[in-house]
């Protein structure tokens, strides 16, 4: 769907998440949310915080799994996705810290594969993702599944594209400070979610959105894999949809 602006689009996404949380709560179950970082979902999180503060939406029965984290990365670093999530959502709502899962950027290289496997199993043990939020990188990555990622890939360590590191360079004060690797849920992990929402705003995303939505399905643009799923919704503002 195309919305006039990212505010109205983000509210809609937040309302869908709130609906899932409340429906699960009524059944005495926990909602399992797959969350994303970056500028794109920030307004969704702001709206969820508002729903928590003003409309009593509780996160007590919510389990979250974030898509990705830089590797290596200390959780208390300014650029970590742990810091991002705490600042933009978790510290403003009543979520239990034990229910928050973000890939661990501090692991030694001989521990990281076991961690990735355990992350995958933890999602399954929680009942699977009820919903997965996605942004899109200009390489067509979802999470940090860069070009070349296989459609059945699982959580793993990946090497970041040069363009992705350039796009992140401002936050790190230069591309040379951007980690060369990341831990990310795989395309296969994302596909198992019962609902997937890919959001994109502004004209900087128009070109990659055109390729993702209308282009040939190919590992060269991992977001094109989403064309194969019946559970995906693209939520765009007019600028991001302008080349469709």
Name the residues that contact ligand GLP, by CB under 6 A: 36-40, 67-68, 135-137, 143-144, 164
Which residue, 57 or 134, is less far from ligand GLP as judged by CB?
Answer: 134
Which residue, 24 or 145, has its beta carbon nearer to ligand GLP? 145
Least distance CB 87 / ligand GLP (angstroms): 14
Q: Residue 179 to residues 1, 49, 50, 78: CA-CA distances in angstroms?
A: 34, 30, 34, 13
Q: Among residues 204, 193, 178, 185, which one has the least CA distance to residue 143?
A: 185
61 or 77: whose CB is closer to ligand GLP? Answer: 77
- Asked if 176 is an active-site residue, the reply is no
What is the closest distance, in whole angstroms, from the C-beta atom of residue 178 to ligand GLP in the complex? Answer: 10
Cα–Cα distances in Å, from 75 out to 84, 85, 180, 202, 212?
A: 10, 11, 17, 29, 32
In whole angstroms, how close is the CB of 118 to ligand GLP at the nearest point? 21
Unique residue bearing structure tokens 């973000």: 102
Residue nearer to ligand GLP on the CB measure, 40 or 99: 40
Smallest separation, CB 213 to ligand GLP (Å)? 16
Q: Is residue 122 a contact partner of residue 143, using CB atoms and an 8 Å limit?
A: no
CA gap 236, 239 in Å, rounded: 8
* Burial class (CB within 10 angstroms; exposed 0-12, middle 13-18, buried 19+) of 124: exposed
Active-site position among 146, 195, 203, 214: 146
Residues known to be catalytic: 146
């Amino acid at each position: 769907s195309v919305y006039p602006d990212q505010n109205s689009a983000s509210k809609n996404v937040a309302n869908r998440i709130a609906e899932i949380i409340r429906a699960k709560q009524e059944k005495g179950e926990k909602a399992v949310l797959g969350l994303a970082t970056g500028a794109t979902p920030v307004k969704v999180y702001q709206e969820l915080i508002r729903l928590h503060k003003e409309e009593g939406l509780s996160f007590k029965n919510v389990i979250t799994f974030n898509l990705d984290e830089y590797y290596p990365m200390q959780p208390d670093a300014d650029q970590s996705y742990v810091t991002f999530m705490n600042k933009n959502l978790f510290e403003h709502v009543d979520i239990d810290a034990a229910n928050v899962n973000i890939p661990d950027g501090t692991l030694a290289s001989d521990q990281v594969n076991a961690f990735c496997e355990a992350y995958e199993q933890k999602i399954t043990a929680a009942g699977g993702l009820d919903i997965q939020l996605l942004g899109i990188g200009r390489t067509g990555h979802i999470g940090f599944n860069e070009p070349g990622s296989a459609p059945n890939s699982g959580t793993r360590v990946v090497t970041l594209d040069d363009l992705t590191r350039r796009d992140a360079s401002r936050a790190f004060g230069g591309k040379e400070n951007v980690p060369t690797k990341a831990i990310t849920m795989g395309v296969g992990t994302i596909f198992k979610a019962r609902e997937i929402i890919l959001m994109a705003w502004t004209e900087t995303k128009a070109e990659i959105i055109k390729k993702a939505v209308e282009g040939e399905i190919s590992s060269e643009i991992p977001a094109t894999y989403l064309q194969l799923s019946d559970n995906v919704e693209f939520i765009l503002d007019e600028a991001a949809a302008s080349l469709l």
